[in-house]
Amino acid sequence: MRTFEASASHLSFARAAQELGLTAAAVSQQIRSLESQLGLTLFERLPRGVKLTTTGRAYLPTVRRALDDLAMATLGLVGTAAKRVLTIRCSVSFAALCLAPRLDQFRLAYPGVQIRIYASIWSDDLDDDKVDVDIRFGDGRWDGFDMDALSLPISIPVCPPESRFDSKPAAQLFELARASPIHIVGCENLWARMGRTLHWPDDAIDGGLCVDTSLIALEMVAAGTGCAMISRDLARHHCESGRVQAPPGIELRHDQCHYVLMPRRKRAHSADALAFRRWLLAAGPRPFEPTGSA
């Protein structure tokens, strides 16, 4: 099963062999033995590398869950004797707005794990070899990782706390946003996409401020500086506490959200990371409806 999972992750018997400390011939033999026992073909052999068959793709998630469960069970048996360090890399915004309010829940459940959070704006600021769990915002196109979405790809407009919306929230949002838009580096086009969705005039939301984190943008909105487009999960706390207002019923669906990534090369040493990933995924995206009404 481990050989199958490694081969499926790399789509290469040779690279799986390097990870497992085996020869490529041994990996190939184990896969042939597994296919023979199952009576099924799991891989299509190609001139370079291999490709999962439809059966192999269907089988892979079950095998990964089984290996994760085994690692978790082992952690429960032998993992409480010594302090273990779990290194997490994520953005400043995710650390402050999503992890900070509930990280104590994980620490109570896993008291033997010492957590180190390295907050960085750009995902390559920290040497990959030091990272156990990576949390990134993007479209999910990263090589060398197993990944799971932590949120839905939805952003919402947020406005200063004194803002009020009635029966025409889109028109009111337009007046507020064009007066002082706040753009976030890497997401500058969200206002333009929002405008096209709501049929605003082209280039209506131009100029304004540009910042490099959602956290800064939210604090500026809360201070009355302007309006910003923010990932719905990052904006949740500010909206629910009334520090910012979001027009009801207006959201933008796109192709980017937060993912938890596990480096494939560290799978054999990541029982704590597996526990942390499972804890993150167990929460999932909670229902959330902005109420910015009068």
Statement to judge: residues 122 and 268 lie in one domain: yes
**Nearest Cα residue to 199 out of 170, 230, 221:** 170
Q: How many CA atoms lie within 13 A of 247 on its CB side?
A: 23
Statement to judge: residues 145 and 262 lie in one domain: yes
> Is residue 131 classed as helix, strand or coil in its secondary structure?
coil
- Provide the pLDDT for residue 49: 86
- Provide the pLDDT for residue 108: 86
30 or 126: which carries more pLDDT confidence? 30
Q: How many CA atoms lie within 13 A of 138 on its CB side?
A: 15
Of 79-88, 112-121, 179-188, 213-222, the one with minimum mean pLDDT is 79-88
Residue 6's domain spans which residues? 2-77
Dihedral-angle region of residue 21 (phi above 0 means left; psi in -120 to 50 means alpha; beta otherwise): left
Given pLDDT bands bounded at 50, 70 and 90, which one contains residue 294? very low
Domain membership of residue 7 (yes or no) is: yes
**Nearest Cα residue to 86 out of 111, 121, 66:** 111
Statement to judge: residues 41 and 177 lie in one domain: no
Statement to judge: residues 33 and 120 lie in one domain: no
Give the CATH number, domain containing residue 174. 3.40.190.10
Pick from 16, 51, 77: which residue ends a domain? 77
Statement to judge: residues 35 and 122 lie in one domain: no
Query: How many folded domains does the chain comprise?
Result: 3
Statement to judge: residues 220 and 274 lie in one domain: no
> Does the pLDDT of residue 142 top 90, yes or no?
no
Statement to judge: residues 160 and 246 lie in one domain: yes
273 or 84: which carries more pLDDT confidence? 273
> Does the pLDDT of residue 42 top 70, yes or no?
yes
Given pLDDT bands bounded at 50, 70 and 90, which one contains residue 9? confident
Statement to judge: residues 9 and 68 lie in one domain: yes
Domain membership of residue 293 (yes or no) is: no
Average of pLDDT values for 187-210? 89
